[in-house]
Structures are given as C-alpha cells and as structure tokens.
Structure 1
C-alpha cells in the first residue's frame, strides 16, 4: 500500500462520476490555486506513485482523507500474495479476517478494532460492511472472493455510520473494480503451483463506439485439499479442496456529455470439501463426549476419546457424507446512472439485486459416530436503491440522498442433521427493510483548514421466524430500530504537506435475533432481538509525505460501543444454542503505516497496530473481544534491479504477524480458547523482459508452512478448533497484456 502527496484544487464543475458518487462526508482538503501550485511542485519532486481513493465517496489522495485507512492497488495484489479477501487481513493494522461460517472454505469474517461477527446465519449481521463498486453485500458466505479485475481495495477502520450506513460499526471494506473505458486492453493471467493450484483469468476492455465501452473478466480457480475423509472413501472432495468459476461483465454508455449509464452483471459457482477442523475431547473432562452422558442420559456412542478423532487434525473422521461437501453460488445485477445537472449540481442513481446461496455444515464430534451433525443450507436475496444529489451552494459543498435496502433469507438444518443421535431441526427466516436519508456539508475555512459534518437517519425493520427441534411450532418476532449517525471532522494541511486531522464518528447497527434459539424449548418468549448497537469513535491522526522518499500515517483512536452483542454458544438438552451476551466495550489503540524508498531500487512498506479492549464485567465475569489480536504488524521489503539487456527483476518478501487472541468472549484458561500468534511469510520474484508485454513470476505463499487456527469455540461439551486452509504453496504465475 502506498501513500503519496497530492491535492485537489477546488473546482465548481462536477466530474459526473467522482463528484456524484459523494453521498457521504466530503472531507477533502480543498486548497486555493496558489497553494495547489505549491503542492503540485512538491508532488513533482516526489519519487512515489500517488494512490487515489474514494473512501469518502469522492476521489482524493489517500492522506487527504481524515479517516484511518489502507489502500491496495489491484495490480499489486498478486505480488503481495493476496489471492482473496482473507489475505487482505494479514497486512492492515488492527484487522483480522477469518473464515468460520459452518466450515465453509469461501467465507470471510472481518474483525476491525475488536468488532466483527464469526457467525453467518440470516438473523445475524456483520459489524464490518463490505462493498463492491458501491453495492453493499448483506451476506458474506457464497460471494466471489477471487480478487481479479480489481482497481483497488480500501479498508476504512472505525465506525462509518454516516459514510456507509448500517452494519459498519467496526469499519468498511471497499472493493473497486476496473470500469469500462476507451483504452483497449486484454490481460491474461495463469498460475500453476503446488497443492494442485490451477488458476486462469482473462480480462478484456474494449470501446465499441465513441460512446460505448465494455469490459469482461472470467476465471477458474482450484486448489487441492489438506487432508482426507478417512472413513468416507466415497467422498467427492478432500478436506479443504476447492474449485470455482466466476465472471463479471460491465457495459458503459455515455448518452451525452452529462449523462452516463453503467450496467454490471456478475456470477460465481464454487464447490469443494469442508474446511479443516478438529475436536478436542479430553480438554473438557466434564463434557458429554468424555463422560458418555449428556443431561442424565447416555450418548449414542458412549464415551469418546481423542483417539476417535482423526489423528491428523487436517484429516476428518466423520461418518456423515452430507457434511463433506460445501458449495457456494452468487449472482448480481446493478444499474448506475450519473447525471451532471449543471456546473454546481450532480445526481446519481444506483439500483442493484444480488442473490447468494451455500451448502455447508460441521460434524461437531468429528468422529464416525452419529452424535452432532449439522449440515445446513442457506440463501439470501437483496435489493438496494440509492438516489444521490450533491454539489455546491455558494462556498459550501454538500452531498445528500435517500437509500433503501431489502433482504429476504433463510437457513435450514433438517433430516440430515442430528443431535445426540436423534433428529435436529433448525429453520430460520428473516425479512429486513432498511431506509436512510443523509446530508453532509463541507466548508473551507482557509486554504489549509477544512471542516465538515454530516447526519444520517436510518430505520431498520426485521421480521423473523424460527422453528427448532420438535418444538410446538414456529416462533414469530418483529422489531424496529431508528438511529441518527453523525460525523464531525477537521483536516489541516501544514506547510510541509503533512495533513493532521481530528474526527468524531458514530456508527449504528440494528438489533439481532438469536442465531440458534434452542432456548425456545424451555422459554417460548426467548426469541427476542437485542437493542440497536451504537458506537462513537474519537480519533486524531497525522498522514502525508515527510520527504520525497518517505510517507506515513499514524492514528490514535478511542471507540465506545453500547449494547454490543457477543455470541455465546452452549450445548443444551435441546440442541446447539447461541445466545447474545450484551456488553459495553471500549477500544483504544494506535495504528501506523509507512512507505520508505530506501534507495532507487529498495522499497520498504510497514504497518503496525496495537489495541486495548476493555469490556464491562457481566455477573462477576469479564468477557473479552473475540478474534482480536492485541498486536498486528507487517513488513514488506521489495527490491527491483535491471539486467544488462534491460529486463527487470523484482523481488518482494511480505511478513505478517498476528498476536494471540481469543476464539470466543471467554478468557478462562480452562476453556482453551486461545488462538496462538502466527507469523506468515510470502515471497514473489518477477521477471519482465525489456520492451515486452508479459511477466513471469515465481511465488511462495506461507513459505514456512505455518499451520495455525482460524478460530476456537468451546460449547461446554467439546472444543472445536477451526484450522486455517492456508498451507504453504509454491508456483509460477504468468501474465500478459496486449
């Protein structure tokens, strides 16, 4: 990731795309022409490439944005060993992305600054929002996480309630794809590597006429597994094996100088084997697996021992064929219209529909016996509409708009699921409607100082149905939440080009119904949603280019959360129950990122984050934030040199560190939920001939073959240890553009 110097001179003519996209707080440091000329002179002296981002829904140089954020160039992702969104979590301070959801290999669960969600069921919402080209992804299982046709990825840390609305109390991740343009381009990429890696992708961009252009990319990606289903030789897939097809098409039409349309369609289809995990039995000696008794009755298998689980944690000893296979499928269609009404006003309209579905599920006991098998299926359908109006009124710039989001989804566990040898049923249905109205104002007090502020009012409504086990019937519930989010920021550009900012940001998330309400057996009234979650973040930061060959950003933050639900999972006499433990949490810390051109050939990227999370005591017990490492860091040296024949060789090494963390809200050593620290190393060596349009690279990912846990979960009967699917891989990557 690069930071670089630059600034934007204030203009009154709106760019039909960049300006009209600004539906949230416009916090750019606007400058007068004379100051802009000085800054441009400094920029020309810089040896670094400028990265432009749209974190505030407008085009800005990254350190003009008064938000702690990281940006990744799409063309450099492969060199850094980033092949999916989970890999992004290795290089951003105070970010950890794990995959937990029902054992699916394609799930992504981001945690930023102590906020995230390790579940996936329809009655839960993530605390970190993910957007693709401005379209919010309501569900994060079943999506296409192959990062191709990417212009850049932006990670915004801290609550983004005014900028991005609901479900961004921890932060937001923006994935921006390449848009159709007049430049003819064809790019082909192929990878062949160990662990059966075979990946191919083609990207085509063409101009059909002076006013019409399109781009298209399609690809295939497969990888072998890490283990076998030792009791099921007929299983179609190995443990952790995956295969996926994907494609995306965009068409842009310039109807006039002031009006343009973009239509985009995408789809993916994947399948593979259950992700690797293992079960610890002897470490919970009072549990049913160890004693062979559950709630006063013998279990079907009698006592279990670790010898009943696969000896290799990457093998699986299940006897249930239904849990061996996972699938994911998603498709989407969006339409965007940009219109310059006049020199001072612009409008934008976005409508999108997305569907996703998956099949997954764990055999919790991890043995051949019929104890706790939970194959499940889920699907979701979402529609969003957004209308924006923005521009200038005198010296004040503004952005405003209306937003509407609707989602219907369900989860099913049924005949092929079992609990204690008997049938297990879980049926969840939920309909969500969210509406918002927002307005944001910005004003340049001086050439160097800009202040801005905004408000967003959100209304959420949810209607949910739950049917579990052999209960007397379905439980119906509905609730409604309203919240006003706000943002106040000030950004000052110093004479040396450095930007200092301070901001107060709030975030909001609607309440959530219990994910696995087996409490319905003993308490029919337990299917009740939590209160809406609120967050307020206080932040001060400094970012910019210190010298022509060194830039940096540092942020100090303190975030206060109220009515935050932690998920607590226990085995009850009715089934696997998930309850919401409501807490108040304060997160405070520091984040650092920098790029240093040590020499003309050697570049050094660094990042570091520290977070201290304090959670209010609950009934004499002090919970902890799950899946939140106290320390995160990365260091990435790269060296480029030129051969006598003019060819270039670029070498890059990326080190990533994530500290110890807890897999669930409990820090009790007896529960064995500590996820140990890990250090991962990626390597990339690329060769580009002189005056050629192709590059060949040797890559190594996780070259030390560090085997680590993604999550740990103690239910009281047993300990689930979810293993990473991230073993070492070495191979060759070829790319050509023409």
Structure 2
C-alpha cells in the first residue's frame, strides 16, 4: 500500500469512528468556538455548511505567518506561490486544483480575495499586509452565490479590526537573520461615545538571497524586499441602529527580482541551446542571477484604496448594508528569461489597475427564516506593457494588453429552520459581465469585446446537535467569465485568435462534519466532488515572434478529503493538524493529457503548542509548525521530460514567547523554515527552455518584541 493510500485509509477510518461515536460527545466544550462571517453574517464556524479555515490575527506570528502566502502552508488543499512577473508582491492561490498561473490584466483569478468585503481584482501590486488584523478565513469550494465571479475554487477573506473594539495601542519590532527588520504599530482610540478611529502602519525589510553577478551596482540583491504600509479607519456610531466606517490603506514596496534560473541543456532543440548557450553560462549558484539588464533587477509595487461601509438596522428583523470602494495599484517587474549576460530573452514589464465596486445588501432574520440579498457592481480598467523587449536576440520590441470590465449581479440566500436542529438554505445569483480588450504584439492594435451572463446557485442542509456539533451536505455552483488570451502572439498566424473563452462553471458536491465531538477535540472533515467545465489553463510557449500564452480549455474533475483539528492533549499542550487529499482528472486534449498545475495530491500540517504559567504569573508559549506539500506540476501542459515536475517540500517553523505577568509586553524567539528547505515555486516549459522559479524563503531566525499601552 502506498503512503498516499495509507493516508486516505486513515482519514476515512478516523471520520467513520467519529461519526459512529458522536452520541457519546459530552455537553462540555473545552475549546472556544470561532465566529466567522463566511456567509456574510456572523455564525459559529460549526454552523457554516462550507469547508472553512479560520486564523486569529493575533496568533499569526506564532505560526510564522507574515503574509497571505504563508497561510497557504497550513490549510488543506491550499497552495499559494509567488512567481508572477518575477515579483515579490504577487500571490497565486490554488484551492482544490483551481487557481491562476498568470497575472496579466485579461486573466482573472479563480480564487477571490476580499478585505472587509472589498474584492481585490489583481494579484500583483496589492501585497496586503496581515499585521494587526482580526481574522483570515479561507473558504474552499465554489462560492458563486455570495462571492460571485472568480470564486470557482474558493475565497479568502481578510477581516481587519473594528475601530473601538480594542482601545489601546501596540508596538512591535522584529529583527533577525537575512537583514530582517520589521516594525509596526496599532492604535485604537475612542474620541467620543459615538466616534472612534484606529490606525496601523509599519515597514518590512528583508535582505536578498543572491547577487546580480553582472550588475555590480544593482540597487537591490536578488529577492531583497522593502515595504511601508498604513491603514486608518474611522467609525461613527450615533445609535444602536446605524454605523458608518470609512477606511483608507496604502502600501509602497520595492526590491530585487525574485530568484529563478533557466534550464537550457534540458531542451537541446530550443533557441537558447541552438544559439550556443548552456546552463554553465549562468551563475553557478541558482539563487544568483547573471543578467546584465539593469532594468530587470528591480521590482516595485504600489497600491491604495478607500472604502465606505454603512450598516442600518431598520428593525429587529431587517437590516441593510452598503460597501463601496475604489482601489488602484501599479507595479514594475519582468523577467530576463535567459538569466544570462547576453540580451537574448528580456521582458521588462509595467502594469496598473483601477477598480471601483459597490455592494448593497438587504438582510433579515424573521425567526425561522433568514436571508441575505443584494446588488453588486464592479468596474476595472487596467493594462500591462512591455517596452524594450528582446526575443531570441531580436529587439527592442514592444507588447501591450489592456482590458475594461463591467460586472453586475443580483443575489439572494435564504435559510429556513425546519426544526430547531435542521436547517435548509438556498442561494442564487445572476451575473452579467462585459469585457473590452485590446492588444498590440508589434503588428498594430487589435480589439475585441465579449459579454457573459450566468446563474449561480447553491443548496445546503445542516443538522446541528444539542451540543452544537453539526453535519452538513451542500451543492455549490460557481461561475467565472471567459478570458482573452494573455499574450496573443498567435495573431501573427491567425488574425482571429484574439477572442475570449466561454463561461467557466463549477459544481461541487460536499458532505462534512464539524464540532467538538470528543471533549477536547475540535475538528472538521469534508468529502468533496467537483466538476469544472470550460476551464482555461494558461499555456505558455515560444513562437517565432514572441513569448505566447494561450488558453487550453479543459473539463476537470476533482475529488478529495479535508481534515482540520485542534486537540487539547493536556492543560499545557494543544495539537493542531490539517490534512488534504485530492485527485484531479483532466480530459485529454488533442492526444495530450494535461496535468492540473500547482496542485499537490497531499497537503499536511502539524502544530503542537505548549503553554506554561510561571509562579510570577508570566506565561511561556512554545510552538512548532510542520508543513508538507506533495510533488506537483508547475504548469498544465503534458511534459514528457517531466521538466515541470516540482518536488515535494517540508517546512518547519518554530516560536517560543515570554508574556509578562501584566500582559503588557512579550518577547519571542522565532525560526522560519529552520531546516533551510530550498524549493521551487513554479516551472514552465516553453518548448525552448524551462523557466524554474525558485522560492524566496530560506531559513530565518530572529527576535520579536511587542508591547501594549
């Protein structure tokens, strides 16, 4: 029996054991239930008929989590990488085999990211900081009813702290190896009985992992990163029935191109090999970079936004809400694909995106009935341009792609309590999307437009036992509008190739159990089966004219199991664990068997946490977190040489903290990736060479000091 089959067998056996013994669970709950807003209303995490993971914002640092990418190390069947345009601020989440490998404006992510109800449309340039936040929620499976388009794989919610909820101030500083220096502050101040504000800000600095060997005066090292960020929010609450929150945020980062190298010898028929280049012409250390193109060594990102959230309680049974936002972001990045001193393959890039969104909700709680309903509008305009590009030594050339999107939706989700324990819920959403795209690959401007519409729906049933534990079954539907090709160099041979793919749809069948079935064991388990239709895989190849990315449209089926638990072993020891198992089947395309990209079959994490209280009243907490991601493929295309296969990886973080007796300050010793595991983020086989994007995550050790006042 293989290790994967043993894991599956153990998972099924554990779930069966719990389901057959739930009647013995006691009324006493030894662990605190978590409240989430996954269904756009506050609920116990046990009550939500969705596979969901939740992270307490104040405890993220103890797990070694400093950004959204780190969240992907601890959630079952979630994998988050960074590689878009060689940028350090990008994030590419994949949930249950669904995500996005690209970042250009005509490609939409399959996983939606929200901050306080505001959708973030772009992956690059909006490096949202997880400092001083309330909670992170990861919803797995299609979320097409409440979260709409671009959530066919799931959604990630970031919830910030509410002004006035935790008066006081906090300052933290962190210093460690690799020139790590972080500092941040948070203040929550009540100006009057009706007005409060909160402000957070800080900076992050991390040194590089390699040198630009042919640019001695480079502004940054490979992988180096510096960022400043801030957020301010005002809350006006003149009565119990009305609340207004106005928030603004901004971040500004710059650094060195992320580490990568180019495998040349593996493709002897490729243009680099035929031109006489070899792997040995690159820097001997793959974390160094031998480019001589100065404009390819620096990456930057800026983003800012403002949001307005207004809540009205019209009566004890009826409420409304408005969430309006405007955001803008821009970045500079790109890759010198050859990683050589020669200017043979170079794609410097700039991108920008502006978005406006507004959502109106009308919600009610009518006793045995409740509902969440609303109207939604989203508009985005953005572009990506490449100037002074070189392809196979020819240049300088140019490339441009732009897109405008308008999206409209109306949605409703209605729940009905058939009994005190049995609940049914039904949701539906209608969406219309309009896209206007344009591109110039060096032979003139091409334009095209497309309109899409779709009805998304879901239905769920939840049975909650007297002790609060629950079992659920759900059928979820998701939708994503079609996409124009990202790099349509196919226009050289086909003037009609610049068109959008069809609507992308998903339907998910899921059953799960949640709760504290055994005193001291808080757990959730889910089995799922998901079908995707007209799913576009982004496939990149080199042509005689440029680096082309086209859509390979496939049918995909995913089946799997997920487990999360917190076990109170003793009064001093907690053990958190997660396990994800997935099998993805993709229909054959023209004799080629594609592989689901960036989707490990096994994801696993284990985190023991020890607590001691000293006689003085001070506390000591020690935690070790182990994360495993199975081998996977870096891109969807079939690769006979298996050059795009990524090896499995094991990461270990450690943290030990001392909390003062008066809870006013703490001092922590941390280690991230303490075994210095070096791993690949992605691999792309263009047919001419293999681009290997390396992790920017070497071992790091340091101290963190926090004080409140």
* TM band (smaller chain): over 0.9
> SS at 1:608's partner residue?
strand
Q: CA deviation at 1:56?
A: 0.7
1:709-734 per-position Cα deviation (integer Å, ceiling 9, x unaligned) = 00000101101100000000000000
* Aligned residue in 2 for 1:206: 189
The alignment status of 1:647 with 2:618, answered yes or no, reads yes
Contact persistence 1:228–1:315 (CA under 8 A): yes
* Aligned residue in 1 for 2:461: 490
* Aligned residue in 2 for 1:431: 404
Contact persistence 1:182–1:206 (CA under 8 A): no
* Aligned residue in 2 for 1:402: 375
> SS at 1:481's partner residue?
strand
Contact persistence 2:348–2:388 (CA under 8 A): no
> SS at 1:115's partner residue?
coil
Matches of 2:254 and 2:44, distance apart in 1: 40
Task: Name which of 525, 531, 556 aligns with 1:585.
Answer: 556
The alignment status of 1:543 with 2:521, answered yes or no, reads no
* Aligned residue in 1 for 2:339: 366
* Aligned residue in 2 for 1:453: 426
1:5-154 paired onto structure 2 within 5 Å: 45-154=28-137
Contact persistence 2:415–2:423 (CA under 8 A): yes
Q: CA deviation at 1:418?
A: 4.9
Q: How many matched pairs? A: 686
Task: Name which of 545, 562, 568 aligns with 1:574.
Answer: 545
- TM-score, normalised relative to structure 2: 0.95
> SS at 2:641's partner residue?
helix
Q: CA deviation at 1:614?
A: 0.3
* Aligned residue in 2 for 1:314: 287
1:228-274 per-position Cα deviation (integer Å, ceiling 9, x unaligned) = 00000121000000000000000000133311110000000000000
Q: CA deviation at 1:419?
A: 4.7
The alignment status of 1:661 with 2:632, answered yes or no, reads yes
Matches of 1:476 and 1:284, distance apart in 2: 35
1:699-738 paired onto structure 2 within 5 Å: 699-738=670-709
The alignment status of 1:253 with 2:236, answered yes or no, reads yes
Contact persistence 2:206–2:226 (CA under 8 A): yes
Unaligned segments of structure 1, at least 5 residues = 1-38, 293-302
Matches of 1:513 and 1:152, distance apart in 2: 35
Contact persistence 2:26–2:467 (CA under 8 A): no
1:537-579 per-position Cα deviation (integer Å, ceiling 9, x unaligned) = 0000011001231111100000000000011111001100001
Q: CA deviation at 1:421?
A: 2.9
Matches of 1:225 and 1:95, distance apart in 2: 27
Matches of 1:148 and 1:491, distance apart in 2: 35
Q: CA deviation at 1:184?
A: 2.0
1:189-210 per-position Cα deviation (integer Å, ceiling 9, x unaligned) = 1100000000000000000000
1:515-538 per-position Cα deviation (integer Å, ceiling 9, x unaligned) = 000111111111000001000000
Q: CA deviation at 1:47?
A: 2.3
* Aligned residue in 1 for 2:526: 555
Matches of 2:165 and 2:529, distance apart in 1: 46
Matches of 1:627 and 1:343, distance apart in 2: 47
1:269-317 per-position Cα deviation (integer Å, ceiling 9, x unaligned) = 000000000111111111111122xxxxxxxxxx101111111000000
Q: CA deviation at 1:48?
A: 1.3
Contact persistence 1:671–1:714 (CA under 8 A): no
Contact persistence 1:126–1:167 (CA under 8 A): yes
- TM-score, normalised relative to structure 1: 0.92
The alignment status of 1:339 with 2:315, answered yes or no, reads no
The alignment status of 1:464 with 2:447, answered yes or no, reads no
> SS at 2:149's partner residue?
coil
> SS at 1:105's partner residue?
coil
Matches of 2:272 and 2:402, distance apart in 1: 32
Per the alignment, do residues 636 and 568 of structure 1 end up closer, same or farther by CA in structure 2, a change over 3 Å counting? same
Q: CA deviation at 1:642?
A: 2.2
* Aligned residue in 2 for 1:32: none
Matches of 1:418 and 1:221, distance apart in 2: 36
Matches of 1:673 and 1:721, distance apart in 2: 8
Q: CA deviation at 1:645?
A: 2.7
Matches of 1:244 and 1:705, distance apart in 2: 24
Matches of 1:76 and 1:419, distance apart in 2: 49
Task: Name which of 586, 601, 605 aligns with 1:634.
Answer: 605
> SS at 2:88's partner residue?
coil
Contact persistence 1:182–1:207 (CA under 8 A): no
Contact persistence 2:476–2:509 (CA under 8 A): yes
Q: CA deviation at 1:106?
A: 1.1
Contact persistence 1:182–1:213 (CA under 8 A): no
Q: CA deviation at 1:622?
A: 1.1
Matches of 2:431 and 2:563, distance apart in 1: 33
> SS at 2:145's partner residue?
helix
1:144-543 paired onto structure 2 within 5 Å: 144-181=127-164, 183-292=166-275, 303-392=276-365, 395-415=368-388, 417-469=390-442, 471=443, 473-543=444-514
> SS at 1:414's partner residue?
strand
Unaligned segments of structure 2, at least 5 residues = 1-22
Contact persistence 1:424–1:575 (CA under 8 A): no
Matches of 1:668 and 1:332, distance apart in 2: 42
Matches of 1:492 and 1:692, distance apart in 2: 40
Matches of 2:412 and 2:291, distance apart in 1: 54
The alignment status of 1:681 with 2:644, answered yes or no, reads no
Q: CA deviation at 1:42?
A: 6.8
Q: Return 572-581 or 395-404, whichever deviates more.
A: 395-404
Matches of 1:691 and 1:240, distance apart in 2: 40
